[in-house]
A and B are shown apart, each in its own frame.
Chain A
Amino acid sequence: DSGVTQTPKHLITATGQRVTLRCSPRSGDLSVYWYQQSLDQGLQFLIHYYNGEERAKGNILERFSAQQFPDLHSELNLSSLELGDSALYFCASSPRHGNSPLHFGNGTRLTVT
């Protein structure tokens, strides 16, 4: 068990809808990262927060947004969902930003129908 908790485990929704994925980092970790894993794109970095502030953005669509709250949990909001957004969404945490291992949760599997 990595100590990173993601909810929900599974989510099925329709195109055009909006969903929120939640992540609780390991105790003491200040950095939270979001990744998308799909069959044809592998693991893609979306966004990184450190102690409540956005630090880096990757291939995140404008329809997606995220935030990290004062208690360090994070939410990833996906709106105007399309079929192609179906994927596994992983959250990872680390004690700081920079050269330290990321510890991943078990992901949220999003299915858009």
Chain B
Amino acid sequence: GESVGLHLPTLSVQEGDNSIINCAYSNSASDYFIWYKQESGKGPQFIIDIRSNMDKRQGQRVTVLLNKTVKHLSLQIAATQPGDSAVYFCAENIQSGGSNYKLTFGKGTLLTVNP
């Protein structure tokens, strides 16, 4: 079949605004979640994580919210800066047997910050 590019959801914000990036995860048994930022030509960079026994966690300018009822994760970035422009991935840790886990990534959201 025809191969198509990965059409990422995109979010465009003005510098200084707050950004909210959303993610739906797949497995109700997942107990650990991570947000990553990937800039062009680089590997994914850890931003913040949250365990399933929490519903909110704050870092520096970032907040992650977890809603297990609807299997939804969000990343809030305060006072968005041009350097925040990147693709953002959510990832869930799914148990793959015994004490083994594999980190499964969502498709990503492209954030563009306009100066």
Residues on A lying within 8 angstroms of B by beta carbon are 2, 4, 33, 35, 39-43, 45, 48, 55-56, 58, 90, 92, 97-99, 101-107
Query: Could you list some 28 contacts between A and B, CB below 8 A?
Result: A4-B43, A39-B6, A40-B5, A41-B6, A42-B6, A42-B105, A42-B107, A43-B89, A45-B103, A55-B100, A56-B97, A56-B102, A58-B102, A97-B100, A98-B93, A98-B101, A99-B31, A99-B51, A99-B93, A101-B34, A102-B103, A103-B46, A104-B36, A104-B44, A105-B43, A106-B41, A106-B42, A107-B43
Contact B93 A45 (CB under 8 A): no
Residues on B lying within 8 angstroms of A by beta carbon are 3-6, 31-32, 34, 36, 41-46, 49, 51, 89, 93, 96-97, 99-108
CA distance A101 to B51 in the complex (A): 11
6 additional contacts (CB under 8 A) given A56-B96, A106-B42? A55-B100, A92-B43, A97-B99, A99-B32, A102-B46, A106-B41
Contact B5 A39 (CB under 8 A): yes
Min C-beta distance of B75 to chain A, whole Å: 15
| Residue from B42, B46, B101, B108 within 8 A of A56 (CB atoms) | B101
